[in-house]
Amino acid sequence: GSQDEGHSRDKAAWQPAIPCSRSRQESEFSNMLAAHSGRRTRWQRQAAEFLRTRIACHIQAALRNYPWPIKKRILAAPPLPATNGNCGVIVMTTKRDWLDALWSAYSWQYFAPVLSSPTIVVDGDVTEEMQSAARRIMRGATVSPASAYLAPCNELIPNQRSLLRRYRFGRKIAVVLSTSIRSSFIFSDSDVLLLRGPTEILSHVATQTRLPFCNVEQGGDAWNAPDIVDLMRNEGIQPIRGFNSGLMYIPSNSLDLDLCARCLQSQAEGREHYFAEQSMFHAALSKAGAQRLNPTTYAISNEGAYFYQRDVDYSVLEARHFTGMVRHKMYTAGMPILARSIGL
């Protein structure tokens, strides 16, 4: 009796454990499989996205460097009459991007004839072929080497001669600062295209003659030299979120040259931050109370950079700054729009 009773108790205690243990083990195993399957799915998604992005980067680079035939069509553009307004236009470029600069300068003279004929500044040698091409399609336009602005700038911000020559964007600094003490002007990188009349720009230039303006992008605050950011903070200068120096209006004598000099002095010789130039203009224009152009109509964005991304809506744009990742869109979208406008 006691053996049967003990056996029954052991059996009763042991038997239910079989299904419970098996159920728990199966459940744990199922959860492990599900988790493993989930990780594998995430890995596959990440791998697919990585491969797609890598492929898109190669395509984007190929499109940017492709010798687009449309670039040379600007040489056959109908000539525009000379203009002589109260505000000049400077389009800065390199010899490599010379044709881009012609498109940019032509868009300014075509859509904003109340401004003065543009000056194209080349960071490099200027040839007679460049001079004649610009004069042929834009009466009154001039082409100048950036090196011509170095000596005047050396007088404005002493002890920076080496930086202005060595630093990648040193000549741009020289061009803007030396011109700013003589006249009011709009500065435009060669990858900025007007796509229709720049109503906001022209209204600002006509009514806010002492206030600069600047183009802004979404974010962009990471593109600042830390030393110059600290200088701005210490002097209580309120930054402009998303500041970009590719399109600026600089009223005559509106920039604090002492501030500009201190910004450049903060950069260790030979180790200048890549965006020291943009950060310096950020500080100077912020202190001068620069206003932001509407980013909806004056776009700086990477939208459409990759083949699988939707591009911006060009029907609402007055201008777009075709920065590095979307430079190919200047050739596939921007220039064709401008070409249709001018009947080219």
Among 288-297, 301-310, 329-338, the minimum mean pLDDT is found in 301-310
- The Cα–Cα gap between 227 and 224 comes to 9
Q: pTM for this structure?
A: 0.84
Compute the average pLDDT of residues 273-297. Answer: 94
* Per-residue pLDDT at 12 exceeds 60: no
Residue 77 φ/ψ, nearest 5 degrees: -65, 145
CA 137 to chain centre: 28
Q: What is the pLDDT of residues 219-257, one digit of tens each?
A: 656 668 999 999 999 999 998 989 999 999 999 999 999
Strand partners, 120: 91, 143
In this prediction, residue 304 carries a pLDDT of 87
* Per-residue pLDDT at 2 exceeds 60: no
Identify which of 63, 73, 89 has the alpha carbon closest to the alpha carbon of residue 319.
89
* Per-residue pLDDT at 40 exceeds 70: no
In this prediction, residue 52 carries a pLDDT of 80
∠165-242-120 over CA atoms, to 5°? Answer: 40
Q: What is the pLDDT of residues 192-211, one digit of tens each?
A: 999 999 999 999 999 888 88
Among 32-46, 61-75, 263-277, 309-323, the minimum mean pLDDT is found in 32-46
16: confidence class by pLDDT, cuts 50, 70, 90: very low
CB 101 within 8 A of CB 93: yes
* Per-residue pLDDT at 17 exceeds 80: no
1: confidence class by pLDDT, cuts 50, 70, 90: very low
* Per-residue pLDDT at 6 exceeds 90: no
Identify which of 170, 193, 327 has the alpha carbon closest to the alpha carbon of residue 247.
193
Compute the average pLDDT of residues 75-90. Answer: 95
